[in-house]
């Protein structure tokens, strides 16, 4: 469970969807919310509505009043800079950062979907990217597994989410060779840890030979949440791999990117640098 939910708020429809998602989870877990509205500098890319500091404060005051009326502990902060790096400074490893994202395709993803990728790179906490989709009739959690090193933590995190929601959990692994024995795959480790974390939870396992991002996006179309790990734990490589990148740019459901213990995040010293540090 999260220590805090940090939510990026800018008044756009995706950010409101993110706030509603975090609000429901905060009420379930009694964790506090922190609303984050960034007053961007002149050189920062404006991916949401451009606002003055005064307009941003008014936006935060309105959302604070709405959330407090629901009985949820909430605070707000208004740093200056870019949202990704402001959240990177604020988030602790046991927080969950929640941001809205436009539902995009490959043609438009670099323009409208890049913020969730930047945030997943910048913060040392788990991240949820919430698209503007109707979740009222969505049921079930799906979790993508691709390597033994992260399979256990993904299984545990997904099982805890499913148990908290009273939902079933589906574990999915994409493999190029269908002849591989399932008990030799990382998905077997994920299933064991999920069962240990949530005894009695209904857990299903699926192995697909389709391309990983395609299989995950299709599996999540009617689900309440998609749970994934980082692209890499290698200190010399980006934690955003090609599969996670494609999923974040083409989301079909809220995506929880689990930050395993010891995972790497982008070093704040250079936003464009290919350097990484341990969390």
Q: Model confidence over 130-141: pLDDT tens digits? A: 988 888 889 999
Residues 40 and 95 in one domain: yes
User: Residue 103's pLDDT is what?
Assistant: 57
Residue 186 structural domain: 141-264
Encode pLDDT of 195-246 as tens digits. 999 999 999 999 999 999 999 999 999 999 999 987 665 555 556 678 888 8
Domain presence at residue 275: no
Q: What is the CATH number of the domain that holds 24?
A: 3.40.50.620
Domain presence at residue 18: yes
Domain presence at residue 94: yes
Residues 119 and 203 in one domain: no
Domain count, the chain: 2
Domain presence at residue 83: yes
Residues 88 and 165 in one domain: no
Domain presence at residue 168: yes
Going by their DSSP bridges, the two strands 225-228 and 96-101 should be labelled as: unpaired
User: Residue 242's pLDDT is what?
Assistant: 82
Rounded CA-CA distance 209/277 in Å is 34
Tell me which of 96, 131, 166 is where a domain ends.
131
SS3 208: strand
Tell me which of 131, 166, 186 is where a domain ends.
131
Residues 124 and 160 in one domain: no
Residues 145 and 172 in one domain: yes
Domain presence at residue 27: yes
Return the half-sphere exposure (C-beta side, CA atoms, 13 A cut-off) of residue 259.
26
Residues 147 and 251 in one domain: yes
> pTM above the 0.85 mark?
no
Encode pLDDT of 64-121 as tens digits. 999 999 999 999 999 988 888 888 899 999 999 999 887 555 434 333 346 777 787 7
Domain presence at residue 272: no
Rounded CA-CA distance 171/207 in Å is 8
Strand partners, 76: 35
Residues 89 and 187 in one domain: no
Domain presence at residue 279: no
Residues 176 and 213 in one domain: yes
Encode pLDDT of 3-37 as tens digits. 899 999 988 888 999 999 999 989 988 999 999 99
Written in H, E and C, the secondary structure of 54-75 is HHHHHHHHHHHHHHHCCCCCEE
Residues 150 and 199 in one domain: yes
Tell me which of 108, 131, 154 is where a domain ends.
131
Residues 149 and 125 in one domain: no
Encode pLDDT of 242-278 as tens digits. 888 889 888 889 999 998 665 444 444 343 333 333 3
């Amino acid at each position: 469970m999260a220590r805090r939910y940090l939510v990026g708020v800018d008044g756009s429809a995706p950010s409101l969807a993110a706030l509603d998602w975090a609000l429901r989870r905060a009420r379930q877990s009694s964790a506090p919310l922190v609303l984050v509205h960034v007053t961007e500098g002149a050189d920062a890319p404006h991916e949401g509505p451009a606002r003055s500091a005064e307009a941003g404060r008014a936006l935060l005051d309105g959302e604070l009043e709405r959330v407090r009326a629901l009985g949820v502990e909430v605070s707000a902060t208004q740093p200056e800079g870019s949202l990704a790096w402001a959240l990177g400074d604020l988030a602790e490893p046991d927080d969950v950062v929640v941001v809205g994202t436009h539902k995009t395709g490959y043609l438009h993803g670099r323009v409208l979907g890049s913020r969730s990728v930047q945030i997943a790179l910048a913060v040392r906490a788990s991240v949820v990217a919430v698209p503007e989709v109707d979740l009222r009739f969505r049921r079930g959690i799906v979790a993508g597994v691709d390597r033994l090193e992260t399979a256990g933590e993904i299984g545990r995190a997904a099982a805890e989410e499913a148990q908290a929601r009273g939902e079933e959990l589906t574990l999915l692994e994409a493999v190029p060779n269908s002849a591989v024995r399932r008990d030799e795959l990382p998905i077997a480790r994920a299933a064991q840890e999920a069962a240990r974390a949530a005894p009695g939870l209904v857990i299903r396992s699926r192995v697909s030979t389709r391309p990983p991002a395609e299989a995950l996006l299709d599996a999540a179309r009617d689900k309440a949440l998609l749970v994934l790990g980082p692209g890499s734990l290698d200190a010399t490589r980006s934690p955003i791999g090609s599969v996670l990148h494609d999923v974040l740019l083409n989301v079909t459901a809220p995506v929880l990117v689990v930050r395993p213990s010891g995972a790497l995040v982008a070093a704040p010293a250079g936003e464009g640098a290919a350097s990484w540090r341990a969390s």
